[in-house]
Structure 1
Amino acid sequence: MNQTNTVSRLFGEHFLHDLNPQELQMLNKVRGLVVSHIGPNAHKVAQKDEFAWDTFRLLADEGVIGSAFPVEYGGTDARQVLRIRIIEELGRVCSASASLITGADLSCRAIVAGASPGMKDQLLPGLRSGQLQAAFALTEPEAGSDVRGLKTLIRQEGEHFVVNGSKKFITRGTTADWFMVVGRLETDSSRFVAVLVPRDAPGFAISPEVDKMGWYGVPISSLEFENVRVPAANLLGKIGDGFELAQDALLRARMGHAAMALGRAIGAVEIAATYMNDRTLFGKTLGAHQGAQWMLSDMVSQIEAARALLTITAQKYDRGDGDVSIYASMAKQQATDLCMKVVTDALQLTGGRGYMKDFPLERFFRDAKLNQIGEGSSEVHKTVIGRDVVRRSSSAQRNPSLREGSLVDY
């Protein structure tokens, strides 16, 4: 494995062995940006919940945003095994920068997969370069993780589609040029439709940015559609493909959330371990106390286990395995819940300093919560995973240590 970055790191590089030289080059470029720009500017970005334009332009100019786009449109069409490492690296220091990468997948994946050749030619080069932005408009006031609960209606009128409904918690709402909108077909509510809506479409309203607890640098807004008409050429895929297009975007975004959470957990341990070497308590460093060492032991062991699960999930996605969605749910739930615990424990280890706003763990703590909520809450994913296990157990191999008959007869 050829690596240009030879600096010793607290967490192992064992997941990089499957990356080719070009992928390692991209990852090392991101690591350089983290050290030179993104890490030192992370505190500034987190002061106001305004779109992190400087960070976005940097990531676009350096080709990192383009990793989500096809080669024929100037991108690199990166494998997920690379993208999770990029997002993890950015998440070590700055949630906004990591979110800009996951957001490129979420907002543009359906365009890559379902737009007409003409729309791809019109939009993808600009989206890849950062000259244009797109937003993923799925969540509604009464429908988030449950896509089948959507109430936005889309009907076809001749050579146009007409959109009516509301969307909520939409990232990039005030900066996006185009919106990928998912709704139900008005004449058949069992079918879903995805269309592209330009921000200047008559009848389309974008709310002011909504204040939130963390994740500053990527503001959210609400959207309203009142008889918004778009050309039939703006349809993504075919009528009825909206659900599948949304699910693929969410699948990749869930892996992105897991990678971001693990990156933040790694960063929290790095900060706490450094503090433990600097802080003296009762005549010896905090790191020399067994109780503190045990806390670090749990953090590091669990993070490495979660990284392994996410790597397996990314490999499954790159191979096209049929069970990747369940693994994405497992990785997302495990990583994001773990991140919340690790950041909390790291803040506890750093004491009053960790609670100060000029110390990174304060914003790590606020940012960690959204990973447990966004792209399906931990509780939703637990339900999905448990339901899948129960379903498969009825046809799976019976444990050989059991005798014949119903287990209630034991």
Structure 2
Amino acid sequence: MTDARLFGDHFLRALPAEEQMTVQHVRALCASTLGPQAAEVAKQDVFAWETFRLLAREGIVATAFPRRFGGTDAPQRLRVRIIEELGRVCSTSASLITGTDLSSRAIVAGASEALQQQLLPGLCSGELQAAFGLTEPGAGSDVRGLATTFRRTSEGYLITGRKKFITRASTADWFVIVGRAEDTPGTFLAALVPRDAPGFTISPDVGKLGWFGVPIASLDLRDVAVPLAHRLGEEGEGFSLAQDALLRARIGHAAMALGRAIGAVEIAAAYACERSTFGKPLGEHQGVQWMLADMVTQVEASRALLALVADKYDRGDSDVATFASMAKLQATDLCMKVVTDALQLTGGRGYLQDFPLERFFRDAKLNQIGEGASEVHKSVIGRDLVRRARAAERHPCLREGSLVDY
């Protein structure tokens, strides 16, 4: 590893040699193909089949799947490095990898052996695609607000409900649908629905501001019959399956946002070295140096938090969900600020569609919204902090008694 790039490989060096080689392979793909083609891919919001097939062919899609189905069972410590590399050049590529994990995680964790044998090899190779049907018109980050119902039948379930903002809806072969039991609303379920199921309707793609190459659409389910064999996990495990998928997706969003922030700083710094104002390079002005100093310092700090979260997930730490919210909040808000400042630093050029920062700017916003808006994660973190504060060790500088008596 070398430090030729603006952001060093200190986190990469901590990985085993085989994992370092995987990241180097992704880096080479970014340099040869994904980066140069990113602007063209982002011109239309249609599914980026060529990019997806390249990522599948090169084994990057397989990092989300177990080895026994053709995958590599990559730990989060490796996946965040892969997604960071992809996000540095192409949001489409990064979101194809995070989206594969989100849409398939419940199948990996909850499908029967027969279903896994049927679907996971194809999902791993890219021959099949899945979509994750969780968000609804009235429920998103609050999974307990879901209105989709599962009515029990002698052969399985009849599912009725609406889903919104579903990535890959127009291309998926199978859909993970999460809802609640009609007769016991506190019981959450998840099941697999094929795209040609009677009563299942997929809307046309819905236009959006950025993140082109991974379209979204809505789903409508009206008494869609699902056999018992297509249920994921046991009755009541739908909530936990959804939460695990969202947890991994939030870590992915943080990695993607940091990759984009890294790319924005690199572009802005290169511009500052080449553009001259008032008789000297832009980068020699103290104000510009301070802007860049803030950017690089905050990005490196956020990368350290994300590395900690990845290790926590791989170890199975009980507090990983709260730390994932911290990483997602910090990285995505930081990315929006860094990309905005980088665009400001590059002036009119940064606003041009021909310049990468225009695309970075449009794509950055969704990271702050997807898989829980920043405000939701602040509430998650704050609630956890208050809960733990009640039982935490008393600060040694405080005297005995109630603090309100000071």
Task: Specify if TM > 0.5.
Answer: yes
Equivalent residue for 1:53? 49
Gaps of 5+ in 2: none
Q: Distance in 2 between matches of 1:188 and 1:60?
A: 41
Alignment partner for residue 95 of structure 2, among 99, 114, 135?
99
Read off the aligned partner of 1:83 and give its amino acid letter: R
Find out whether 1:295 has 2:298 as its counterpart: no
Alignment partner for residue 385 of structure 2, among 382, 389, 403?
389
Find out whether 1:187 has 2:191 as its counterpart: no
Q: Distance in 2 between matches of 1:72 and 1:170?
A: 29
Task: After TM superposition, list the pairs within 5 Å mapping 1:160-309 onto structure 2.
Answer: 160-309=156-305
Equivalent residue for 1:18? 14
Find out whether 1:9 has 2:5 as its counterpart: yes
Deviation of the 1:160 alpha carbon: 2.0
Task: After TM superposition, list the pairs within 5 Å mapping 1:74-85 onto structure 2.
Answer: 74-85=70-81
Q: Distance in 2 between matches of 1:105 and 1:141?
A: 23
Deviation of the 1:375 alpha carbon: 0.3
Q: Distance in 2 between matches of 1:313 and 1:301?
A: 19
Deviation of the 1:7 alpha carbon: 6.9
Equivalent residue for 2:400? 404
Q: Distance in 2 between matches of 1:354 and 1:206?
A: 37
Deviation of the 1:159 alpha carbon: 1.5
Alignment partner for residue 40 of structure 2, among 26, 39, 44?
44
Read off the aligned partner of 1:320 and give its amino acid letter: G
Equivalent residue for 2:106? 110
Deviation of the 1:57 alpha carbon: 0.2
Structure 1 residue ranges, 4+ long, deviating more than 2 angstroms after superposition = none
Equivalent residue for 1:361? 357
Q: Distance in 2 between matches of 1:191 and 1:286?
A: 60
Q: Distance in 1 between matches of 2:395 and 2:52?
A: 52
Offset from partner CA, 1:71-120 (integer Å, 9 cap, x none): 00010000100000000000001101000010111000000000000000
Equivalent residue for 1:29? 25
Find out whether 1:71 has 2:82 as its counterpart: no
Find out whether 1:317 has 2:313 as its counterpart: yes
Find out whether 1:127 has 2:123 as its counterpart: yes
Q: Distance in 1 between matches of 2:376 and 2:367?
A: 13
| DSSP-derived class of the 2:382 partner | helix
Deviation of the 1:8 alpha carbon: 1.1
Give the fraction of aligned pairs with identical amino acids, expressed as a percent.
69
Read off the aligned partner of 2:326 and give its amino acid letter: M
Offset from partner CA, 1:362-408 (integer Å, 9 cap, x none): 01001000000000000000011011100000000010000011111
| DSSP-derived class of the 2:352 partner | coil
Q: CA RMSD in A?
A: 0.7
Offset from partner CA, 1:132-167 (integer Å, 9 cap, x none): 000000000010000000000012201221100000
Read off the aligned partner of 2:105 and give its amino acid letter: R
| DSSP-derived class of the 1:390 partner | helix
Deviation of the 1:205 alpha carbon: 0.1
| DSSP-derived class of the 2:14 partner | coil
Gaps of 5+ in 1: none
| DSSP-derived class of the 1:182 partner | strand
| Alignment size in residue pairs | 406
Q: Distance in 1 between matches of 2:353 and 2:284?
A: 27
Q: Distance in 1 between matches of 2:191 and 2:350?
A: 45
Read off the aligned partner of 1:201 and give its amino acid letter: A
Q: Distance in 1 between matches of 2:359 and 2:211?
A: 8
150-159 vs 238-247, which moves further: 150-159
Q: Distance in 1 between matches of 2:157 and 2:22?
A: 41
| DSSP-derived class of the 2:247 partner | helix
Read off the aligned partner of 2:54 and give its amino acid letter: L
Deviation of the 1:18 alpha carbon: 2.3
Deviation of the 1:31 alpha carbon: 0.4
Equivalent residue for 2:82? 86
Read off the aligned partner of 2:123 and give its amino acid letter: L
Read off the aligned partner of 2:398 and give its amino acid letter: L
Deviation of the 1:17 alpha carbon: 2.5
Deviation of the 1:255 alpha carbon: 0.3
| DSSP-derived class of the 2:180 partner | strand
Deviation of the 1:260 alpha carbon: 0.2
| DSSP-derived class of the 1:189 partner | coil
Find out whether 1:332 has 2:315 as its counterpart: no
Q: Distance in 2 between matches of 1:247 and 1:307?
A: 23
Deviation of the 1:25 alpha carbon: 1.1
Offset from partner CA, 1:223-272 (integer Å, 9 cap, x none): 00000001110000001100000000000000000000000000000000
Counterparts in 2 of 1:7 and 1:296: CA distance versus 1, 3 Å: closer
Q: Distance in 2 between matches of 1:9 and 1:278?
A: 17
Residues 258 and 335, structure 2, Cα contact 8 Å, conserved in 1? yes
TM-score by length of 1: 0.98
Read off the aligned partner of 2:371 and give its amino acid letter: E
| DSSP-derived class of the 1:227 partner | strand
